[in-house]
Amino acid sequence: MTDSTVQAPPSKAEAAQETAAAGPDSRPGAAIRTDDLRKTYTTSRGNVDAVRGISLDVAPGEFFGLLGPNGAGKSTTIGMLTTLIVPTGGRAWVSGIDVVANPVGVKRTIGVVPQNNTLDMQLSVTENLEFRGRFFGLSRRDALRRADQLVNAFGLTDRRRAMATDLSGGQARRLMIARALVHRPDVLFLDEPTAGLDPQTRVNLWDTLRALHDEGQTILLTTHYMEEAEALCDRVAVVDHGLVLAAGTIDELKQGAGADTVITVRYDGDAAAVDAATLLDGRPTVGKVETEGDQVRVFTKDPAGILGELVTAGARAGLTVRDAAQLKPSLETVFLTLTGREYRE
Amino acid sequence: MTTTTPTPPPGAPSPAPGAPSSSAAAAPDRTVAVITGAPEPHPTTWKTFAAMMAREFRVLGRNAPSTFIRSVIQPLLWVFVFTYVLPKIGAAGSFEAGAARGNGTTFSTILLPGLMASMLLMQGILGTTFPLVMEFSWQRTIEDRALAPVPLGVLAFEKMVAGAIQGFVGALIVVPIVLFVHASGQSPHAHVTNWFLLALILVAASMMTAALGLLLGTLMDPRKMQMLFAVILLPATMLGCVYYPWSALHSIRWLQIAVLFNPMIYISEGLRSVLTPGIGHLATWAILLVLVGGAVLIGYLGTITFRRRVLN
């Protein structure tokens, strides 16, 4: 169902690719770059292609989002970029360092907040930060000072002596982000940072992430929440079934995908009787009309009047409207346009 | 790669690495302090390894009371029953005869190296396997440690060293217990002739048990942890020349040969050879070959399985 609106990463990347003859490791610029990155798992029931060739380019200081439904391959991609999953094809670099050839070098430059709670449950809040600092070569004194700083900055001051097991979900997530920042990573990876958090906590966490971004932190975030990507990211890659469907700024994506309002009408019978395609043929603003089973879906630049026409046309054909929805251009309509499927969170 | 921020944020204190920037820490201006006001890390493999060991000691220290009780109760009960209760009620005769062939050796002399080996094996394996199984299961907290800036082999080695230290300490705890808990006339006759060999055997044995722990911890299904006791620890101990010297098994020839496949006997016989040399024991070269070779080989295999478990 993908069409011509699928875009390659910005041409800046292509230009860089051509000028860098000295080899990928020496390329300055990109904070993250992947080239046809792939991961196939071999299981007893055959091969599973988790990632089927993803190419990305993230600039330093950028807040980049991988958006897609669960199982799209986002976490696998982050896993490969953070060296804990070994790619089966393609290449990837973080801060110019090859993730397969030099995983230790990559680990020095990244901070990772995985989806699961990987806090050291045997240690307190401060100790989690202290030892992270020491793992990265800080002296005990510096590590403690750094821990202090982060405990304050992340609003954990009154929980500093608490054991990691005793934290609430939001506190644990904040501590994990703080811990990922102890050693001043070049790139911060966040895998579904707000999954499972209550709305208030989530919005607070967004503020924290925005503040980090304002400070210049390069961030790659995966999310299956459209509104999270829209709220935070400079650029987004829409991922599904292990492939990038489209990448760009939110605005570019909306325009690239047709910037359409999507109108969906469901009837109580076969929607083919409405013959919506012929009905709307005269309207230049209508991009695409899909009829499937009992439903008609219209992609349009100008939604005025269309819903009414579909209702009337349905009545003429003896059909009653059971359900109607009009989605303004958003990442959700982009996803619909690209895949022809409802976005499944 | 050292500059994290391309442009200095407004109002940021000049980022001077190493210099104490207390002003940044005191004012919780989150957008400024988080990145720029931080000391710059310079990790090396050694620093990271040392920090990981420091973390193990912090946790061990916190759990010291329970760890201590765990390592004391078993040998204490064993020694109490076999060198105090049984001699007092006159039931130990058969043990002594069987174990030491009536040459006047007390049973505690047999038990000293045997129990040391037994506790070493138990603590060495459990001290490595338990934390690993916990870190690999459920939330996979191992992933966090795996992101430390060292090769995964270093992390595996660190896990082994931490377990080995517990095995080592476990063995030492046995010594005062056996020396002081016994009926009169039942004291052990221990006599160290070669301290260097004793240290070598203790260290190699600790590393071998920790290597076994690493291998088991990375291969075992966490839901079947009880099997560890039933299938490995119990047989290894009962048939590990803890309560009798290997030489005494000559009357059951097939068993004497079969137990040679039990790594445990090289620990108990090794300690026997340096602590109670008066009692017949396995050849020293065989003991060292198995302990050192086993530590290296099993440790190598464990590192491979560890890598396989961490990486996907």
pLDDT in tens, B140-182: 888 889 999 999 999 999 999 999 999 999 999 989 988 888 8
B107 has pLDDT over 80: yes
- 3 state DSSP class of A45: coil
Q: Does residue B199 surpass a pLDDT of 50? A: yes
CB contact under 8 A, A208 and B30: yes
Selecting from B4, B37, B59 the residue whose C-beta is nearest the C-beta of A122 gives B59
- A40-54, A69-83, A110-124, B180-194, range with the lowest pLDDT: B180-194
> Regarding predicted confidence, which is higher, B173 or A277?
B173
Mean pLDDT, chain B, whole residue set: 82
Tell me, what's the pLDDT at B27? 34
CA dihedral B254→B256→B261→B263, nearest 10 degrees, is 160
Angle at A53 between CA A46 and CA A25, to 5 degrees: 125
More confident: A252 or A341: A252
Contact A247, A237 (CB under 8 A): yes
Instruction: State the Cα–Cα distance between residues B265 and B282, nearest whole angstrom.
Output: 9
Average pLDDT value for residue range A304-323: 87
pLDDT band at A345 (very low <50, low <70, confident <90, very high): low
Q: Shortest CA distance to B308 belongs to which of A86, A40, A44?
A: A86
In chain A, the residue whose alpha carbon lies closest to the alpha carbon of B42 is: A137
The pLDDT, as a whole number, for residue A26 is: 40
First CA to last CA across chain B, in angstroms?
28
Give B15→chain A minimum CA distance, Å.
Answer: 12
Interface with A, mutate which of B23, B34, B143, B155 (most A CBs under 10 A) = B34
Q: What is the pLDDT of residue A162?
A: 95
Torsion of CA A104, B156, A83, A122, to 10 degrees: -100
The answer to whether A132 and A179 have CB atoms below 8 angstroms apart is yes
The confidence score (pLDDT) of residue A6 equals 40
Say whether pLDDT at B70 is over 90: no
The C-alpha atoms of residue A273 and residue A30 are separated, in whole angstroms, by 53
Closest CA to A177 of A160, A156, A157: A156
Q: What is the per-residue pLDDT for A156?
A: 92
Lowest model confidence (mean pLDDT) among A8-22, A51-65, A81-95, B159-173: A8-22
Q: Is the pLDDT of residue B80 over 90?
A: no
| Nearest CA among B177, B210, B55, B178 for reference residue B112 | B178
Determine how β-strand A187-191 pairs with β-strand A286-292. unpaired
- Residues B281-287: contacts with CB under 8 Å, at least 24 apart: B281/B245, B281/B246, B281/B247, B282/B246, B284/B197, B287/B201
Mean pLDDT, residues A135-157 taken together: 92
Residue A148: which of B25, B35, B58 has the nearest Cβ?
B25
Contact B149, A136 (CB under 8 A): yes
Cβ separation of A118 and B1 shorter than 8 Å?
A: no
Span A159-186, average pLDDT = 93
DSSP A229-295: HHHH-SEEEEEETTEEEEEEEHHHHHHHTT--EEEEEEESS-GGGG-HHHHTTT-TTEEEEEEETTE
Q: Which residues in A lie closer than 8 A to residue B139 (C-beta atoms)?
A: 116-118
Residue A235 pLDDT grade (very low, low, confident, very high; cuts 50, 70, 90): very high
Identify any residues that bridge with A261 across adjacent strands, giving them in sequence order.
A300
Cα(B283)–Cα(B277) distance, rounded to whole angstroms?
Answer: 11
**Partner A, chain B 59-98, Cβ-Cβ below 8 Å:** 59, 62
**Structure token pair of residue A89:** 């094809």
Contact between A318 and A273 under an 8 Å Cβ cutoff? The reply is yes
pLDDT band at B34 (very low <50, low <70, confident <90, very high): low
Contacts of B6 in chain A (CB under 8 A): 60-61, 216
pLDDT at B19 over 80: no
Reported as a pLDDT band with limits 50, 70 and 90, residue A43 is confident
Q: Which two tokens stand for residue B265?
A: 């006997």
Q: What pLDDT score does B29 carry?
A: 43
- Residue B151 contacts A, CB cutoff 8 Å: yes
Q: Is A58 helix (H, G, I), strand (E, B) or coil?
A: strand
* DSSP for B118-154, written as a single string: HHHHHHHHHHHHHHHHHHHSTT-THHHHHTSSS-HHH
B268-304 pLDDT, tens digit per residue, is: 999 999 998 878 778 889 999 999 999 999 999 999 9
DSSP state, residue A318: T
Instruction: Return the residue matching tokens 């920790």.
Output: B210
Structural Rg of chain A based on CA atoms = 23
pLDDT at A23: 40
Residue A54, strand partner residues:
A37
Indicate whether A180 pLDDT > 70. yes
Pairwise CB contact (< 8 Å): A137 & B20: no
- Beta strand A235-240 pairing with A63-67: parallel
**What is the rounded end-to-end Cα distance, in angstroms, of chain A?**
19
User: How much of chain B, in percent, has pLDDT values that exceed 70?
Assistant: 84
Q: What is the pLDDT of residue A19?
A: 37
pLDDT surpassing 60 at residue B26: no
Closest CA to B143 of B152, A331, B202: B152
Least confident among A67-81, A89-103, A116-130, B88-102: B88-102
Q: Of the ranges A187-191, A221-225, A274-278, which is most confident? A: A187-191
pLDDT over 70 at B6, yes or no: no
The Cα–Cα gap between A155 and A200 comes to 15
Q: How confident is the model at residue B1 (pLDDT cuts 50, 70, 90)?
A: very low
- List residues bridging with A190 in a β-sheet: A113, A221
Can you list the domains of chain A with their CATH numbers?
11-119+167-255 (3.40.50.300), 260-328 (3.30.70.100)
Helix axis angle, B107-136 to B152-180, nearest 10°: 150
Supply the pLDDT for residue A33: 94
Tokens matching residue B223: 């839901």
pLDDT band with cut points at 50, 70 and 90 for residue A289? confident
Binned at pLDDT 50, 70 and 90, residue A309 comes out as confident
Q: Is the pLDDT of residue A288 over 70?
A: yes
Q: How far apart are CA A113 and CA B146, in angstroms?
A: 13
DSSP letter, residue B242: S
Confidence of residue A301 (pLDDT cuts 50, 70, 90): confident
CA distance A162 to A167: 7
The burial class, CB within 10 Å (0-12 / 13-18 / 19+), for B11 is exposed
When the pLDDT of each residue in chain A is averaged and rounded to a whole number, the result is: 85
Confidence (pLDDT) at B35: 65
pLDDT band at B93 (very low <50, low <70, confident <90, very high): low
Residue type, A207: D
Q: What are φ and ψ of residue B297, in 5° steps?
A: -65, -50
Q: Indicate whether B13 pLDDT > 50.
A: no
Cβ neighbours of B55 in A, within 8 Å:
120, 123, 131, 134
Distance of CA B243 to the CA centre of its chain: 21
For residue B127, the distance in angstroms to the closest alpha carbon of chain A comes to 15
In a 13 Å sphere around the CA of B250, the CA atoms on its Cβ side amount to: 7
Residues B190, B192: Cα–Cα separation, whole Å: 7
Burial group, residue B38, by CB count within 10 angstroms (0-12, 13-18, 19+)? buried
Tokens 């037994």, located at residue: B118
Taking a C-beta distance cutoff of 8 angstroms, is the pair A250, B66 a contact?
no
Mutation pick from B1, B2, B3, B4 vs chain A, by most beta carbons of A within 10 Å, is B4
What does B26-48 look like in DSSP terms, one character per residue?
HS--HHHHTTTTSPPP---HHHH
